[in-house]
Structures are given as C-alpha cells and as structure tokens.
C-alpha cells in the first residue's frame, strides 16, 4: 500500500534517501521468495504439460478420474475440486480482510479473519487428504488388460458382491460355508493375484468359493491403448459387449490383468507418470498449504498476544498474507492444468 | 542508538474506516468475480467433451480465464497493483521472460518427442 509520497522527483528517489520501491525489506524479500517458488511450480507444471503432450490420448481426462463427492458417490465430475478451489479462494479473501483490518489497527478484526483463514486452510487440507485417499484406493472396476492386449479403464455401477459360497474346502473354510465379510477387499486382492476363474474365487487359505454378485449397470470400457496396433486411442465399448470382455479378462486366472487405485509404479487411470505427477504436484502444493496454516497459526498467536499492536503496524500479517495468496494462486493454475485441461 | 535514516514504510500503510470500507467493497466484488469464473470453468469442463471439435477453443478459454483469475489475485489480493511501478516490474518482467521461454522450449521439444513416438509405432 505505497503511493503516499508519489510527488518525489527521480533524483531524491534514486539518490539514496528514499527507496525506489517504497516498501519494507521484509515485504520485498517475501516477494522475491514467492517469485522463486513460482518458478518451481512453473517448472513442475511445464514438465507435466510436456509429458501430457507426448502421451496424447493415453493420458486420463480429469472429469473421468475425479468424479466423486464425499457422501454422495460417483457421477459428479470435477465438482469436488471446484469446491476445494472455492474454499481456498474464500480463505484468501478472509486473509485479505485480515490485512485490511491490520491497516486500521483493528486487533479484533485481524484475529477474527485470521481464525477464519486458518479454518479454511484446514478444510482444504482435509479435502486434499480425502482426494488422495480416493485416488490411491481407486474404483471398484480398476483398469483392465483385455484379451487382445488392449488397456481399458472402466466406468459404470459395480453390482454388489453378496457372498462367497465355498465349493472346495481350504484350511479354515469348509464346503458349504458362506462368507459375508470383507468381500470387496478379498475380491480385488484375488483379481490382482489372478485367483479369479470362471466365477469362482480362490481364497487365501486355499478354499475355492463361488462368487454371488449382483449385475453391473451401464458398464463402459474406454480403451486407452489398443492392443492390436499398439497405439493410443479413445475408442469406447459399452453395454453387454463391455461386460463380456471385462469379465472374460478378469476371470482368466492370470496375474496383473487388473490394476486398482494408484501407487508410484502403476495406477488405474493412465500412464505411470500420471500418478507420479499427481502425487508430486498436489503433494508439493499441499505441503505449501500445510506450512501456510502453521505460519498463520503462529502469526495469530502474535496478534492475540498484541505483539504487532505494540509494534504499531501489522506488517507481519501482510507478509504471511502474501504467502497465503500465493498458495491460492498456485492452486488456480494446478486446477486448470491438472484437472480441467 | 536510534537510527533516523531508516524509513518505516509499513507505518505509511495505515488507513481510516472510510477508506477501509471502500477497500472491503472492492474485495467482495473480486470474490464474486473469482467464484463466477470458477463456476463457468467447471460448467464448461463438464459439459464439453475432450473429443469435441470445440476442445481447442475451450482450452484457450480455460487458460485465459485462469490468467484473469491469477491477475485479480496478484493485483488485488496481493496488492501488487498498489505497489510502485518499479517494484511491479522487478517482480513480473523477469518471471514472464523466463516462463515464456520455458513454455516455448517445452512445447517445441514435446512436439519433437511426440513425432518420434508416432513413427516408432508404425
């Protein structure tokens, strides 16, 4: 908020008596730090763009990957990330209101808006934790390698697994026993290990059980890599044909035909680099948000203790404010380049 | 010993309630604008598919809206618009020179790498 002495002539300005920037050392250094940090994020996003650009159609589309809402389930493309963006923008607004209150030496106002900002920060961090957890655990269908070697991601409503009926005894489960617990977890584990064959599952203790499962609805296979010509493509298979091909591949009894969720080596959404970029970019940003919240809490304690009031100005709030806005700014770009494009 | 050659610029930044009211109304206006832009982005993102013919136009719209959002955050929320011209330039110009070069070189290289992939698969 400079501009108080705009009438200075250039000689006085550059001659040593007055700073040409007319801003304090601390604020200027915060700006320089932010420029360097902005360059780090720019580098990350450009590396992402580069990889995405040469992966072409094999790359997942944001609205296909991020379409869940807490408590509501699937079918809400991008809505949750938009909500996260909104939360961060609002917390940026409360921060700028805290700075404004600081300029009026309104200690109560600064305290109130700082608390609001910190709550917004925690909301954002919680949302990000939810999103990561969702991304890591993945969908019920996973990504599947079809009989002809094509890689497909799968959309639709997964029919609930009702129970497993044991038809061949193992160490603990005897013939005729009905297993009703931990079904989804056992099913996915067996699928990854190639322990599913013709509608049966081989359990951990060696027993073989029949899978009693409701029908799926609206299944859609989106081919990310065509096995025959080994080329990327966006072909889609729907309806009965999709179900037939999916279960044919799932029940072959081969290892690694299906991938659930994401880790550093593989993921169900697209190429390996996709999850790596997701973890690194949103993780690095989340780390910034986390440190921002910590810094905000420390400054809030200073405000409550009256440190800045005694000092005669609330510039510390302004400086942390700059950092907090920067975190919001970065998220605006991550939102566009990672989720929208 | 007290130094009298240091200027406490932060002390100049104070303003009264009337000015504060003006600043707050500007903040609220920008908030509404940023929210609207985000809603528009999500609406376009979920209604137009990437396979659509309009996707290139949508991409350009997204980037322009993002830059608009970023501009408001930097100029209003971070008060860069209220700083001295010299300071604004020292922050923005080196950044933009470097970033534009980086974008140019990355797109150039990615296109080359992409064309190599194409020929390898045929």
Chain A residues close to B87, C-beta within 8 Å: 2, 20-23, 28, 31
Least confident of A11-25, A102-116, A202-216, B13-27: A11-25
Structure tokens at A293: 């919240």
Chain A residues close to B16, C-beta within 8 Å: 104
Chain A residues close to B94, C-beta within 8 Å: 35
- Residue A254: which pLDDT band, with cuts at 50, 70 and 90? confident
- Give the ipTM: 0.89
Q: CB–CB of B15 and A63 under 8 A?
A: no
> Testing the interface with A: which of B9, B65, B95, B104 to mutate, by most A Cβ within 10 A?
B9
* Rounded percentage of chain A residues whose pLDDT exceeds 90: 38
> Testing the interface with A: which of B8, B37, B40, B45 to mutate, by most A Cβ within 10 A?
B45
Concatenating the DSSP letter of every residue in A40-90 gives HHHHHHHHHHHHHHHHGGGSPPHHHH---BTTTBS--TTHHHHHHHHHHHH
pLDDT over 60 at A5, yes or no: no
Domains, chain A, ordered by start: 18-138+274-340 (1.20.120.80), 143-261 (no CATH)
Instruction: Give the gap in angstroms from C-alpha B1 to the nearest C-alpha of chain A.
Output: 18
Chain A residues close to B55, C-beta within 8 Å: none
The pLDDT of residue A148 is 82
Structure tokens at A13: 């300005």
Query: Rounded to an integer, what distance in angstroms lies between the CA atom of residue B19 and that of residue A284?
Result: 38
Structure tokens at A269: 């959404």
pLDDT over 50 at A3, yes or no: no
In Å, what is the CA distance from A181 to each residue of A162, A168, A187, A192?
9, 18, 11, 19
Neighbours of B19 (CB within 10 A): 14
Chain A residues close to B100, C-beta within 8 Å: none
Which among B11, B12, B41 has CB closest to A340? B41
Q: CB–CB of B39 and A82 under 8 A?
A: yes
The pLDDT of residue A13 is 65
**Average pLDDT of the segment spanning B16-42:** 92
Least confident of A34-38, A249-253, A279-283, B101-105: A249-253
Chain A residues close to B15, C-beta within 8 Å: 1, 103-104
The pLDDT of residue A199 is 83
Q: CB–CB of B121 and A231 under 8 A?
A: yes
Q: Closest Cα to residue A57, out of A226, A265, A220?
A: A226
pLDDT over 60 at B59, yes or no: yes
**Model-level pTM?**
0.87
Backbone angles phi, psi at A254, to 5 degrees: -100, 150
**Does A205 or A102 have the greater pLDDT score?**
A102
The pLDDT of residue B113 is 83
Q: Where is A167: in which H helix or E strand?
A: strand A161-168
Three-class SS state of A263: coil
* Rounded percentage of chain B residues whose pLDDT exceeds 90: 49
Mean predicted lDDT score pLDDT of chain B: 86
Chain A residues close to B90, C-beta within 8 Å: 21
For A268-299, write each residue's pLDDT tens digit.
888 888 999 999 999 999 999 999 999 999 99
Q: CB–CB of B51 and A234 under 8 A?
A: yes
Quick one: closest CA in B to A52, which residue?
B110
**Average pLDDT of the segment spanning A158-179:** 87
Q: CB–CB of B114 and A53 under 8 A?
A: yes
Quick one: closest CA in A to B34, which residue?
A89
């Amino acid at each position: 908020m400079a501009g108080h002495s705009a009438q200075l002539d250039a000689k006085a300005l550059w001659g040593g008596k007055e700073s040409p920037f007319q801003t304090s050392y601390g604020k200027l250094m915060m700006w320089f730090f932010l420029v360097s940090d902005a360059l780090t994020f720019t580098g990350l996003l450009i590396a992402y763009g580069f990889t995405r650009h040469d992966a072409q159609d094999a790359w997942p589309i944001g609205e296909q990957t991020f379409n869940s809402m807490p408590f509501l389930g699937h079918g809400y493309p991008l809505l949750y990330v938009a909500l996260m963006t909104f939360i961060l923008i609002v917390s940026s607004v409360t921060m700028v209101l805290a700075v404004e209150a600081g300029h009026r030496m309104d200690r109560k106002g600064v305290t109130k808006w700082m608390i609001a900002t910190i709550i917004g920060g925690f909301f954002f961090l919680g949302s990000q934790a939810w999103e990561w957890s969702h991304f890591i655990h993945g969908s019920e269908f996973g990504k599947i390698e079809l009989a002809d070697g094509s890689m497909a991601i799968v959309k639709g409503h997964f029919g609930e697994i009702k129970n497993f009926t044991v038809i061949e005894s193992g160490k603990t489960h005897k013939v005729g026993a009905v297993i009703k617990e931990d079904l989804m977890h056992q099913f996915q584990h067996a699928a990854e290990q190639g322990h599913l064959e013709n509608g049966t599952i081989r359990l951990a203790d060696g027993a073989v059980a029949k899978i009693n499962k409701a029908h799926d609805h609206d299944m859609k296979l989106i081919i990310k890599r065509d096995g025959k010509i080994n080329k990327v493509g966006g072909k889609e298979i729907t309806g009965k044909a999709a179900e037939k091909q999916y279960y044919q591949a799932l029940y072959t009894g081969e290892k690694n035909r299906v991938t659930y969720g994401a880790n550093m080596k593989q993921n169900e959404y697209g190429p390996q680099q996709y999850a790596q970029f997701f973890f690194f970019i949103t993780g690095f940003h989340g780390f910034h948000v986390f440190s921002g919240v910590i810094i905000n809490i420390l400054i809030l304690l200073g405000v409550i203790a009256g440190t800045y009031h005694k000092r005669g100005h609330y510039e510390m709030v302004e400086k942390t404010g700059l950092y907090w806005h920067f975190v919001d700014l970065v998220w605006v770009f991550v939102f566009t380049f990672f989720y929208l494009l | 010993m007290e130094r009298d050659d240091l200027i406490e610029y932060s002390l100049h930044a104070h303003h009264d309630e009337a000015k504060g009211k003006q600043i707050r109304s500007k903040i609220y206006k920008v908030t509404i604008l940023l929210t609207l832009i985000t809603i528009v982005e999500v609406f376009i993102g979920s209604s137009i598919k990437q396979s659509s013919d309009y996707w290139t136009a949508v991409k350009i719209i997204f980037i322009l809206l993002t830059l608009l959002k970023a501009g408001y955050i930097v100029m209003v929320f971070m008060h860069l618009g209220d700083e001295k011209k010299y300071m604004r330039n020292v922050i923005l110009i080196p950044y933009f020179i470097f970033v534009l070069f980086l974008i140019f070189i990355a797109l150039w290289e990615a296109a080359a790498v992409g064309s190599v992939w194409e020929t390898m698969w045929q």
